Homo-oligomer: A and B are copies of this chain.
Amino acid sequence: MTRTAVDPATIAGSDDKGEDEFTAAGRRPTINDVARLARVSKKTVSRVINKSPSVKDDTRTKVEAVIKRYGYAPDPQARGLAFRKSFLIGLIYDNPNPQYVIDMQQGILNAVRGSGYELVVHPCDRRAPNFLTDVRNFVQRQKLFGVVLPPSVSEDERVAQLLTEVECPYVRIASVAFDAPECMLVTHDSEGAAEAARHLADAGHQRIAFISGPSTFKSSHERGRGFADGLAERGLELRPEYRREGAYTFESGVACGKDLLAMRLPPTAVFTGNDEMAAGVYRAARDAGLEIPRDLSVVGFDDSPLAERVWPPLTSVRLPIRDMGRIAAEKLLERALDKKERTQDDGEVFPKLVERRSTASPYSP
């Protein structure tokens, strides 16, 4: 039986500082030191570290005691060299939203904390000519253990194909499933958008607009589709003249907002693909002399901190981004643990509408 399992967690999580000859000096114990101190061969130490089943319990205990006592942790470089793998998880992203990225990082780190894995971040530009080469170099040279792909990189089939080619495990985070379940974390954006639609429809709005993100994001379509479906449930239609395509930026939100409000029959409610653009609509409304929510209801997407900082506080659809990062990383790590233990999470999360004070019934003078 070949064991490819790799899990230094038990030892890497140790908070000991080491002792004796290893305290003062900067020198850390090696596997040879541990072998000597435990009076076993280094091969046995290796067996313990890699959780080989053919080690007697008291030998294991003895070795683990020495490991813990002297704060030994295997050198990831040496181990990686032998395994032809590193213990680095890559986060490849092309996302303008800092809060999204930070939360995702935090989530991933929560999952790998104390496991000996580390997180390497790699922002990129999907439109750059050397984008794919860059990603390939990054993944292959670092021999990444796995990568997490949030939108919009997750939607790029070229990236998925490339990672398959170089045999690098990945988890794609996206609003709908378009890959094998173990490679996907589905966020069901459409559900959240539908909830926003029902919320606005139930408030009595008829002229309802939608500002999407760029069409290069699948989530843009998905949020649009969910929103239209939600309106349809209430017998309303998302009319083409009330649709605009933004760029997920504040500025594009201002522009689309101004454009919508300049219509002969402007909308009384706007749903935007993210909070940044909602903030842009706030600006447009203010410039048009309109008051939110009296003259215009606004709903955003992301529930970023910004939603609480603008006035009035923005009703927004929340995605549990930290959890997403955590689950994605867990899915990667599962593959190393021989799939023994599966977490409860099935690779799905659902958004949820957070109601604040930016929506009201349409004003009828």
User: For residues 281 through 299 of chain A, which have their beta carbon under 8 Å from a beta carbon of chain B?
Assistant: 282-283, 286
User: For residues 71 through 124 of chain A, which have their beta carbon under 8 Å from a beta carbon of chain B?
Assistant: 73, 75-78, 80-81, 86, 88, 98-99, 101-103, 105-106, 109, 116, 118-123
Please tell me how many copies of the chain the complex holds.
2
Chain A binding surface SS class: helix
Q: Which residues of B contact A240 (CB under 8 A)?
A: none
Q: How far is the CA of A155 from the CA of B276 in the complex (A)?
A: 33
The stretch of A56-64, A169-177, A225-233, A306-314 in contact with B is: A306-314
Q: How far is the CA of A12 from the CA of B276 in the complex (A)?
A: 37
Q: Which residues of B contact A121 (CB under 8 A)?
A: 105, 109, 119-121
A65 interfacial contact with B, CB 8 Å: no
Q: Which residues of B contact A109 (CB under 8 A)?
A: 121-123
Give A contacts to B, CB under 8 Å. Answer: 12, 15, 17, 26, 28, 73, 75-78, 80-81, 86, 88, 98-99, 101-103, 105-106, 109, 116, 118-123, 130, 133-134, 136-138, 140-143, 165-167, 250, 276, 279, 282-283, 286, 305-306, 308-311
The 4 A-B residue pairs whose C-beta atoms are closest, nearest first, are A98-B102, A98-B98, A279-B309, A77-B77
